[in-house]
Amino acid sequence: MPMKKGYKKVQIMILIMVLLLIIAGCRRTIGPEEVEDNQPPTEQEMTEEETQDIEEAPIEEGPLQFTLENQRQEEVTLSELKGKPIFLTFWVSWDEDSKEQLEVLHNLQRLLEEDVSFVGVNATTFETAEHKDILAYLEEQEYEFHIVFDDEGEVQDAYYVGSFPTTFLLDESGEVVQLFTTLMKEDKMIEALEPVLEKLLP
């Protein structure tokens, strides 16, 4: 049994090394088209107590569950993405780190789309740009993963998001296992995936 566990660990480490090498060669940066950058509204920081509440809650039902419309006017239900890990990023168009985080998701999605789901949640109530301008920007960037719009701010409130970008890593059962309240590059996100992917190995 120890040998099997050790072998799985080696598999994961090799996968991470290969992915990092691939990313280094194909990483894309933000395109020339930008959403108008206006003064952001006041933000409320997430507290440690609020973070703990999120970590203990599943997404099958209750406030962490949601159905929102994406950039292609399709309804996306979070629980339907269960079965593999999910990166869930809350973002706004006036924040450069938020837009860079979407690029990170794009780069990872091209490599891991069969094994990991990626969802961007636009915190619409914190936006300063027009919805049509945000859609035009997303179309220019050609993102293939879901980017949904939290028009009422209910999802942002349920996840206690007060700074951007904020990214959650959910495991295959829908439990929150990691929380990042700053821009995360590809290598760090892949490292965070290691223990989650290890559980899925046969």
pLDDT of residue 47: 45
pLDDT of residue 18: 60
Name the residue ranges covered by the structural domains of the chain: 2-27+45-200
CA 36 to chain CA centroid, nearest Å:
23
Amino acid letter, residue 137: Y
pLDDT of residue 201: 78
Q: Does domain 2-27+45-200 have CATH number 3.40.50.300?
A: no
pLDDT of residue 199: 85
pTM value is 0.78
CA proximity to 85, closest of 168, 1, 181: 168
pLDDT of residue 17: 54
**Judging by DSSP bridges, how do beta strands 86-91 and 75-77 pair with one another?**
unpaired
Contacts of 90 (CB under 8 A, 6+ apart): 121, 123, 150, 156, 159, 161, 164, 165, 166, 167
pLDDT of residue 102: 98
pLDDT of residue 200: 83
pLDDT of residue 25: 56
Angle at 34 between CA 31 and CA 40, to 5 degrees: 135
Mark the ranges of the chain whose per-residue pLDDT is less than 50.
1-4, 6-7, 10, 32, 39, 41-53, 62-63
pLDDT of residue 198: 87
